[in-house]
């Protein structure tokens, strides 16, 4: 078993460069056979993944954060060389949030970096597909953890700009959340799921989860299951800024969903019509703006994770 490692040197403000010599040493000492490819620009991980698969690689590792996971997963799911389930996918988590790896129980401790390679459990997880139109072009993107719209995407955009400037970490994310709160305003959206119109909302934030965690450990979709064939949607209707501040601890425990402004749904297909356009993000990365349709693709990604409890 030879692994192809797609490594992001800029993950978590440069930790990809700092940690690589030590991680490389650990992999070699553990007898894990691998080849590695370094990403140089946005979207490069997807290109490198497709190229590796075209040459026969069937064991792929994303070394980085949730953004790297998303790009590599898109390389796996968007290629036509083999069935996506022929490929075994995992992560070496060195990002800021590492939210997908929380669900997959992959340790981010360097001294445990090889544990799941040797004792981990394979599982099939669902995948989300988001479709939207921008600049008169149909766009699509897969996601494996969570998609967001409204305040969630706005915070993600500013947080990523701060990460690029070297201001990463959970405290940096929370400070970004607080500063964005004073500028963001709820916007009108119309929501359908499984073809049935549910309601119109003054949307503050919307999260659509395959998995449970986002924003470095926040439980925005606390009941999501990665293999149940359903999307979990958490929608926050227009809400006061003071109430948001009071519920920040509840974002990490999942208790914020008890507020009357919070609505939860489960569906296989979700359509969100937004006017004016709203930012869209998947797995922590802003991908565009506009109305969108999100569909579940059951059991599409074969993953090597940590041992289940």
Angle between the N-to-C axes of helices 44-54 and 66-77, in degrees from 0 to 180, rounded to the nearest 10 = 40
283-302: average pLDDT:
96
pLDDT band with cut points at 50, 70 and 90 for residue 13: confident
Residue-level pLDDT at 172: 60
Locus of tokens 């394979």 = 122
Domains and their CATH numbers in the chain? 2-126 (3.40.50.10330), 128-298 (2.60.200.40)
pLDDT at 247 over 70: yes
Residue-level pLDDT at 114: 86
pLDDT band with cut points at 50, 70 and 90 for residue 207: very high
Per-residue pLDDT tens over the stretch 49-96: 999 999 999 999 999 999 999 999 999 999 999 999 999 999 999 998
What is the 3-state secondary structure of the chain?
Answer: CEEEEEECCCHHHHHHHHHHHHHHHHHHHCCCEEEEEECCCCCHHHHHHHHHHHCCCCEEEEEECHHHHHHHHHHHHCCCCCCHHHCEEEEEECCCCCHHHHHCCCCCCHHHCCHHHHHCEEEEEEEEEEEEEECCEEEEEEECCEEEEEHHHHHHHHHHHHHHCCCCCHHHHHHHHHHHHCCCCCEEEEEEECCEEEEEEEEEEEEEECCCCECCCECCCCCCCCCCCCEEEEEEECCCHHHHHHCHHHHHHCHHHHCCCEEEEEECEEEEEECCCCEEEECCEEEEECCEEEEEEEEEEEEEECCCC
pLDDT at 161 over 70: yes
pLDDT band with cut points at 50, 70 and 90 for residue 183: confident
pLDDT band with cut points at 50, 70 and 90 for residue 158: confident
pLDDT at 177 over 80: no
Residue-level pLDDT at 173: 64
- What is the value of pTM for the model shown? 0.93
pLDDT band with cut points at 50, 70 and 90 for residue 309: very low
Best-predicted range by mean pLDDT among 163-167, 175-179, 180-184, 303-307? 303-307
């Amino acid at each position: 078993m030879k692994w192809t490692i797609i490594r992001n040197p800029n993950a978590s403000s440069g930790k990809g460069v700092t940690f690589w010599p030590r991680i490389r040493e650990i992999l070699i000492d553990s007898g894990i056979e691998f080849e590695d490819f370094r990403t140089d620009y946005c979207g490069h991980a997807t290109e490198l993944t497709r190229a590796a698969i075209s040459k026969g690689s069937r064991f792929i590792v994303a070394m980085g954060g949730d953004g790297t996971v998303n790009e590599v997963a898109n390389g796996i799911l968007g290629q036509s060389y083999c069935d996506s389930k022929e490929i075994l996918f995992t992560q070496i988590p060195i990002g800021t949030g590492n939210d997908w790896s929380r669900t997959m129980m992959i340790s981010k401790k360097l001294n445990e970096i090889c544990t799941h390679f040797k004792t981990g459990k394979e599982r099939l997880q669902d995948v989300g597909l988001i479709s939207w139109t921008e600049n008169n072009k149909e766009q699509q993107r897969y996601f494996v953890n969570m998609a967001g719209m409204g305040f969630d995407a706005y915070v993600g955009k500013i947080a990523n700009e701060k990460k690029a400037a070297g201001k990463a970490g959970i405290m940096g994310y929370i400070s970004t959340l607080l500063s964005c709160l004073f500028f963001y305003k709820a916007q009108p959206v119309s929501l359908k799921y499984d073809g049935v119109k549910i309601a119109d909302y003054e949307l503050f934030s919307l999260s659509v989860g395959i998995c449970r965690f986002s924003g470095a450990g926040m439980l925005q979709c606390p009941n999501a299951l990665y293999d149940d064939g359903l999307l979990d949607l958490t929608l926050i209707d227009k809400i006061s800024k003071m109430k948001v501040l009071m519920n920040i601890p509840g974002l990490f425990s999942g208790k914020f969903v008890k507020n009357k402004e919070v609505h939860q749904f489960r569906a296989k297909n979700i359509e969100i019509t937004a006017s004016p356009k709203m930012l869209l993000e998947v797995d922590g990365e802003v991908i565009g703006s506009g109305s969108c349709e999100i569909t579940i693709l059951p059991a599409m990604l074969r993953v090597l994770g940590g041992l289940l409890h």
